[in-house]
Amino acid sequence: MFEDRRKFGSLLNLEDPNLTEVRENLEALADQTDVWDAIAKLEQRFERLELLVEGLKSALCAQNILTEHQIAVATTRVDLADGLEDGRIGPLAASLAPPCPSCARPLNPKRAQCIYCGAAVLRQDKAVAPEPKATCARCTTAVPQRTTWYSEDGLLCDPCYRQADDV
């Protein structure tokens, strides 16, 4: 649609000083449209992902594989993998992933192709990744994530969790 406007603009002599403002307005409108198109695509993708997550959650609960509480705890663990409870996967997880040779976005090493561009990924011997660390909400010690516990106070190291459990 806006490509047609650009073509129409090229039919006119937009280098004419009287039409410079018109040309600039048309270019700005085309740029804005590209942004709005990108936003609309992201909204569609978000809605599809939201539907997929709800469908998976419903199927897991309906088949008594996981309870809603277990899903919530697992979600919190994933959220805390970067050391922050902020409702998103932080930069730590993405920074440990190798970049796709095609689009340079982070690769999931468990997949045979990039989830973004679909490029085939050559599997290589696994390099030993550093063990993820997490910060205890009470004593602020950095500990291996596998030794942490989720509590009402946030992520706790084993000693702080056991101390809270004894009280």
- Is residue 103 included in any domain, yes or no? yes
In this structure, the number of other CB atoms found within 10 A of the CB of residue 160 comes to 20
- Is residue 120 included in any domain, yes or no? yes
- Is residue 87 included in any domain, yes or no? no
- Is residue 119 included in any domain, yes or no? yes
Mean pLDDT of 111-129: 75
| pLDDT band at 19; cut points 50, 70, 90 | low
- Is residue 102 included in any domain, yes or no? yes
At residue 113, φ and ψ (nearest 5 deg) are -145, 160
- Is residue 110 included in any domain, yes or no? yes
**Measured in whole angstroms, how far is the alpha carbon of residue 47 from the centre of its chain?**
14
**Measured in whole angstroms, how far is the alpha carbon of residue 59 from the centre of its chain?**
23
- Is residue 36 included in any domain, yes or no? no
- Is residue 113 included in any domain, yes or no? yes
Instruction: Return the higher-pLDDT residue of 68 and 39.
Output: 68
In this structure, the number of other CB atoms found within 10 A of the CB of residue 115 comes to 12
Q: Count of domains in the chain?
A: 1
At residue 127, φ and ψ (nearest 5 deg) are -80, 150
Residue 17 carries which DSSP code?
A: G
| pLDDT band at 18; cut points 50, 70, 90 | low
Which residues are CB-neighbours of 14 under 8 A, at least 6 positions away?
20, 22, 23, 26
Residue span of the structural domain in which 117 resides? 98-130
Question: From CA 72, how far away is CA 78, in angstroms rounded?
Answer: 10
